[in-house]
């Protein structure tokens, strides 16, 4: 299998060669710079291609790495030890083309790569636990076997999507739209890419803010290739925008890069390979005019060379993109050390440096350095150059110390040396058999050799606080154990005051019946449902007729009309308080309050007819009544008595005068003969 080689580029030596037409590059010995092979990982034989990515996945300020060997090889993750060495761990077989991205939108970088086996088709994802520990693995099912992966925000929604090519299985390119929280929807972007290794680039070629796509199209078995560019039309649709005339196709392995080579603000394409009918290797620039129309120009050409992988990056820090490619000293030997060419700012390149030639006999694993990458691995502002090859990968000058490659035999995320120090079994991913991976236990501060790390009697797999012997459970999930939590159900009521400390929906039980007030339909247990009870928490009250906040039982004026209930003929009717005639109709509503047969609106003596006639000396026993004019008998008698008293000179005259009054009343039919005689007798006996 293969790996990587890194070159640290020293730019103190500057060599410029005039390029006249098709240039021939001189590799004189005095131009060679002696660099240290820092990372030189040999892990097998006969892979097909390699991949590499770098990012800070654990937040320590140093770039970590992910790389794979081939499309059915091994994927590794290397965490920087900050001293120029890496802790390298194998994370998957049959995986390649790893990329760092935030798969689940949780803010830290995960690793995605394609699964190289023919079936099932899927992309594997290794979940970052937040500290660079990749404990979980999941997969995204896809419709075709992926051969290459890129990650980018294709739809401009702020999260990272996945783009993959299917290679020989239909020559299609697909996008996996990130819809958030680890959910992806597959879209077909290109249905006829006519390419093999799925070597595509994503860039905004037309300057509209969307990522377009370029592909070095061709067939691996025909060794013919040319670039093709698709325009992003939005809504996951691509349309062909450019392809070169087939007459100018070049013999190549489809390796190309994109960037603003000539400094005009448009994204150009650089492609390397060699001509199908000659032994001349070529490097071409396809200059973009800004409308996705490209013009091919020769950067340089060299006989008997084999240029494959390439990368554009600002190696000398002058603001323009330089060019590095793998350089076969003799095409028949398949030896490809890298070479660097500096850009003058307008797209003209001059040779600057080439790694020492190696021969296939003494260095059999250096052949076919076909992939190139550029990262600032030291964090010093200078780019390092990483090359990937069929058998081995290299980078140079990063640090003279060799990489220490430690195994993780049981795949639990802990290196064997770490397990030996911990006392766990390096050949058993769960040494204590508690169902928790050893690496996960260490990441959580647990003891991988004990099922109960904190010794509280609750096994780690059930203990929410496996490192705290005082806590094991957290009912409300607020991060505070139940023992320390003063509000276990997080309902805002302290447990000491909460009748239901483990029920967030209840805290009070007014009637003590074991049913919380929220669920209880009669909180005060007074027989009146809360929905009908004006005082649902007061068993002595249930109604408040006048709504004054005082229950009817305690209220002395239930209708709040200002008349105490004890004096109110209608205590629950604020519009009534009296019933003069006792007929059950309040005086306000009654149109004949004295029930004398004369309606109140014409009755001059409303309310006066009540009981018997009283001549001032006691009850006569004669019921009071009114005449046809509504004048009560008692009034007529009083008026007569007053008139007679005023004119009579003595009692005899007074009695005679009243006899006339009584005769008149009898004549009107207001009194009977018996009543006249009774009244006459009482008047006569009541001497004035």
In a domain, 50, yes or no: yes
Mean pLDDT of all residues in 167-173: 70
Give dist(CA 205, CA 338) in Å, integer: 28
| Residues 569, 561: Cα–Cα separation, whole Å | 12
Which range (11-25, 73-87, 185-199, 457-471) has the least confidence? Answer: 11-25
> pLDDT value at position 573?
81
Contact indicator for 323, 258 with CB cutoff of 8 Å: no
Q: Mean pLDDT of all residues in the chain? A: 76
Residues 203 and 326 in one domain: yes
**Does the pLDDT at position 562 exceed 80?**
yes
pLDDT, residue 219, reads: 53
Residue after which a domain boundary falls, among 503, 524, 547: 503
Look at residue 359 and tell me whether its pLDDT is greater than 60.
no
pLDDT top residue among 608 and 510:
510
Whether 558 is in a domain gets the answer no
Do 300 and 23 meet the contact criterion of CB atoms below 8 Å apart?
A: yes
In a domain, 417, yes or no: no
pLDDT in tens, 123-165: 889 899 888 888 778 889 998 878 788 999 999 999 999 998 8
Give the pLDDT score at 11: 31
- 379 and 480 assigned to the same domain: no
The token pair at 262 is 């000539």
Stronger pLDDT, 280 or 193, i.e. the higher one: 280
How much is the pLDDT for 147?
77
Is residue 3 very low, low, confident or very high in pLDDT (cuts 50, 70, 90)? very low
- For the chain, the straight-line distance linking the first and the last C-alpha, in angstroms and rounded, comes to 146
Q: In the prediction, which pLDDT does 366 show?
A: 47
The tokens describing 581, both together, are 């005639």
Q: What is the layout of strands, in order, in the sheet containing 51-55?
A: 51-55, 64-68, 74-80, 86-93
More confident residue, 598 or 324: 324
- Domain co-membership, 391 together with 477: no
Given this model, what pLDDT does residue 406 score?
Answer: 57
The arithmetic mean of pLDDT across residues 306-324, rounded, is 84
Are 374 and 484 within one domain?
no
- 9 and 398 in contact (C-beta within 8 Å)? no
Q: At what angle do helices 673-685 and 651-667 cross, to 10 degrees?
A: 160
| Res 395: pLDDT | 47
- Which helix (DSSP H) or strand (DSSP E) does residue 218 occupy? strand 212-219
* Banded pLDDT at 639 (limits 50, 70, 90): confident
pLDDT band at 670 (very low <50, low <70, confident <90, very high): confident
User: Quick check: 287 and 269 in contact, CB under 8 A?
Assistant: no
For residue 370, the model assigns a pLDDT of 65
Number of domains in the chain: 3
Q: Is the dihedral of CA 88, 93, 95, 101 positive or negative?
A: negative
pLDDT (tens digit per residue) in 406-450: 567 888 888 888 898 999 999 999 999 999 999 988 988 899 999
Is 8 a residue whose pLDDT tops 80? no
In angstroms, rounded to a whole number, what is the distance separating the alpha carbons of residues 492 and 506?
A: 11
Give the pLDDT score at 599.
65
Are 366 and 489 in a shared domain? no
Tell me the torsion sign for CA atoms 607, 609, 611, 617: positive
Band of pLDDT at residue 35, cut at 50, 70 and 90: very low
> Region 388-397: what's the mean pLDDT?
50
Mean pLDDT of 372-388: 77
Domain that holds residue 653: 613-685
pLDDT at 592 over 60: yes
Q: For residues 334 and 314, what is the distance between their CA atoms, to the nearest angstrom? A: 28
Residues 175 and 294 in one domain: yes
Task: Answer with the residue of higher pLDDT: 574 or 33.
Answer: 574
Summarised one tens digit per residue, pLDDT across range 441-482 is 898 889 999 998 889 899 888 888 888 889 888 888 888 888
Cα–Cα distance measured from residue 570 to residue 10, given in angstroms and rounded to the nearest whole number: 107
Residue 437 lies in a domain: no
Identify the residue whose tokens are 């394409």.
Answer: 269
pLDDT of residue 2: 42
Closest CA to 57 of 134, 149, 115: 134
Give the residue from 633, 619, 640, 615 showing the smallest Cα distance to 669: 633
Say whether both 478 and 380 belong to one domain. no
Please name which of 378, 421, 281, 513 lies closest in space to residue 6, comparing C-alpha atoms. Answer: 378
Residue 62 lies in a domain: yes
pLDDT of residue 631: 79
- Domain-terminating residue out of 369, 396, 423: 396
How does residue 245 score in pLDDT terms, banded at 50, 70 and 90? low
Residue 225 domain-assigned? yes
* CA distances from residue 392 to 1, 5, 71 in whole angstroms, order as listed: 7, 8, 15
> What is the pLDDT at residue 4?
45
Domain termination residue (choose one: 362, 396, 430):
396
390 with 478, same domain: the answer is: no
Cβ of 168: how many Cβ atoms within 10 Å?
15
HSE, CB side, 13 Å, CA atoms: give it for residue 355.
28
Average pLDDT over residues 175-193: 87
**And the tokens for 351?**
């040779």
Q: pLDDT class for 555, splitting at 50, 70, 90?
A: confident
Copy the structure tokens of residue 259: 């960037």
Please indicate, yes or no, whether residues 171 and 71 belong to a single structural domain of this protein. yes
Q: How confident is the model at residue 69 (pLDDT cuts 50, 70, 90)?
A: low
- Examine the domain organization and report whether 209 and 346 are in the same domain: yes
pLDDT for position 184 = 93
Rounded distance between C-alpha atoms, residue 390 and residue 371, angstroms: 9
Question: Strand, coil or helix: what is 611?
Answer: coil
Q: Which two tokens stand for residue 649?
A: 């000179």
Express each pLDDT in 523-535 by its tens digit: 788 888 878 888 8
pLDDT of residue 281: 73
Phi, psi dihedrals of residue 638, rounded to the nearest 5°: -65, -40
List the structure tokens of 426: 């390096």
Does 166 lie in the same domain as 67?
A: yes
> Is there a domain that residue 113 lies in?
yes
Residues 254 and 381 in one domain: yes
Query: Is 136 within the bounds of a domain?
Result: yes
Find out whether 627 and 639 touch, Cβ atoms under 8 Å: no
CB atoms within 10 A of CB 449: 16
CATH number, domain with residue 199: 2.130.10.130
């Amino acid at each position: 299998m293969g790996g990587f080689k890194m070159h640290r580029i020293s730019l103190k030596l500057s060599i410029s060669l005039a390029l006249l037409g098709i240039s021939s590059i001189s590799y004189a010995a005095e131009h060679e710079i002696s660099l240290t092979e820092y990372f030189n990982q040999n892990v097998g034989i006969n892979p097909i291609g390699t991949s590499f990515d770098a990012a800070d996945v654990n937040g320590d300020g140093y770039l970590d790495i992910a790389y794979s060997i081939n499309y059915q090889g091994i994927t590794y993750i290397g965490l920087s030890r900050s001293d120029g060495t890496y802790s390298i761990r194998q994370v998957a077989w049959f995986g390649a083309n790893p990329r760092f991205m935030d798969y689940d939108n949780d803010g830290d970088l995960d690793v995605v790569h394609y699964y190289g086996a023919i079936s099932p088709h899927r992309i594997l994802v290794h979940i970052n636990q937040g500290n660079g520990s990749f404990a979980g693995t999941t997969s995204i099912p896809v419709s075709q076997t992926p051969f290459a992966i890129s990650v980018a925000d294709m739809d401009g929604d702020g999260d990272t999507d996945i783009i993959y090519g299917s290679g020989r299985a239909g020559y299609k390119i697909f996008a996996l739209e990130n819809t958030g929280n680890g959910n992806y929807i597959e879209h077909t972007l290109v249905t006829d890419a006519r390419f093999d290794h799925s070597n595509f680039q994503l860039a905004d070629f037309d300057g509209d803010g969307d990522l377009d796509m370029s592909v070095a199209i061709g067939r691996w078995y025909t060794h013919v290739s040319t670039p093709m560019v698709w325009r992003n039309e939005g809504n996951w649709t691509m349309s062909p925008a450019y392809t070169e005339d087939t007459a100018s196709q070049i013999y190549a392995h489809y390796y190309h890069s994109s960037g603003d080579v000539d400094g005009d603000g448009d994204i150009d394409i650089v492609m390397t390979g060699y001509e199908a009918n000659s032994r001349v290797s070529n490097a071409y620039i396809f200059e973009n005019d800004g409308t996705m129309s490209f013009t091919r120009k020769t950067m340089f050409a060299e006989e008997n060379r084999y240029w494959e992988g390439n990368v554009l990056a600002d190696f000398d820090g002058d603001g323009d993109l330089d060019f590095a490619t793998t350089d076969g000293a003799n095409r028949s030997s398949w030896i490809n050390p890298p070479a660097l060419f500096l850009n003058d700012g307008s797209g003209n390149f001059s040779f600057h440096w080439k790694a020492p030639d190696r021969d296939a006999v003494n260095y059999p694993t250096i052949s076919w350095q076909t992939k190139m990458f550029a990262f600032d691995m030291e964090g010093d502002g200078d780019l390092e150059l990483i090359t990937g090859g069929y058998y081995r990968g290299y980078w140079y000058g990063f640090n003279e110390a060799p990489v220490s490659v430690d195994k993780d035999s049981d795949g639990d995320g802990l290196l064997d040396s770490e397990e030996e120090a911990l006392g766990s079994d390096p050949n058993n991913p769960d040494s204590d058999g508690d169902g928790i991976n050893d690496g996960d236990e260490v990441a959580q501060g647990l003891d991988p050799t004990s099922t109960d790390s904190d010794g509280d009697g609750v096994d780690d797999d059930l203990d929410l606080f496996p490192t705290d012997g005082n806590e094991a459970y957290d009912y409300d999930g607020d991060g505070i154990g139940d023992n320390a939590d003063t509000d276990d159900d997080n309902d805002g009521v302290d447990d000491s005051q909460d009748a239901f400390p483990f029920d967030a929906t209840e805290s009070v039980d007014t009637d003590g019946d074991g049913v919380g007030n929220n669920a209880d339909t009669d909180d005060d247990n007074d027989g009146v449902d809360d929905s009908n009870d004006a005082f649902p928490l007061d068993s002595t009250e249930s109604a408040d007729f006048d709504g004054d906040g005082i229950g009817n039982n305690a209220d002395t004026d239930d209708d709040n009309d200002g008349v105490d209930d004890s004096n109110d003929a209608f205590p629950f009717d604020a519009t009534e308080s009296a019933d003069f005639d006792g007929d059950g109709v309040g005086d306000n509503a009654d149109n004949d309050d004295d029930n004398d047969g004369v309606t109140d609106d014409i009755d001059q003596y409303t309310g006066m007819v009540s009981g018997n006639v009283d001549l001032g000396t006691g009850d006569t026993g004669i019921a009071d009544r009114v005449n046809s004019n509504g004048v009560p008998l008692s009034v007529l008698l009083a008026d007569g008595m007053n008139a007679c008293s005023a004119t009579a000179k003595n009692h005899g005259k007074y009695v005679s005068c009243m006899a006339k009054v009584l005769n008149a009343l009898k004549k009107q039919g207001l009194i009977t003969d018996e009543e006249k005689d009774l009244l006459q007798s009482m008047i006569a006996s009541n001497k004035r």
